[in-house]
Structure 1
């Protein structure tokens, strides 16, 4: 993988690292609430998601949302408003809990009973790289059959493990 042995974007190439692109795509597949947490509707939807079951409340506390049980009710009714810091905590806790809840479904969906999922690999944008330093790159596709480790790292929010897990299936593509 080029980002592992050279300075990523050193000569002006633009793009994202493979594991970051995978994380973005998995985030899209997770189907988060579209309304921002700063809007009343978005806040209420997230609070409902985080407080509707005992498991969700425990997961929210484990994700860093440390509030009493009365506080979300006051926020929902509108007698109090959460601070900016609490809004960030609510958003982070919601995303963490959502990832944990969706991980098993995504793994099954992407594995497709052993058939795997086709992945498109697009080259970096080299328009800003000087001509002698540009590399010949082409669009590639591959079929990833084992998504367990990738999805588990994404669900845990472990970027280093996600990078390691993503390199395993794509290492055979070469340095492009």
Structure 2
């Protein structure tokens, strides 16, 4: 084996060893994140019980907004504040679903802008209730089939609705 080949093998071993160290560190952090996420989830369950006993609503948009603003403002990077907000929105959504599953009515079939707006606002741990008409959206909410609704101001086919 020539010297160039030996040097490349040695470099590969160094790179692989360093990658292994980094991956082990990432795995350890992932384990810590998982433990903290489950600890947060248990606290959310406890908060949900208190809210239920007090007759208070589970969904508190002002509290969720406060958490999202605080985490984005205190983010030192390198993740962007938008990425941090997206991660925390999903954490909040999952924890809220443990307190009480949330159903949101929206106009249109799955895959529409209304469904995307619902997930952007409430996270992916909500149950979407697609409705064919705006009247159906409001009736579903009024009847209690959905706790909340997303309604468009305008749509791509008819403009203002």
TM-score between the two structures when normalised by the length of structure 1: 0.26
Which protein has the bigger helix share?
2
Which protein has the bigger strand share?
2
Structure with greater contact order relative to length (CA < 8 Å, sep ≥ 6): 1
Q: Which entry has the higher C-alpha Rg, 1 or 2?
A: 2
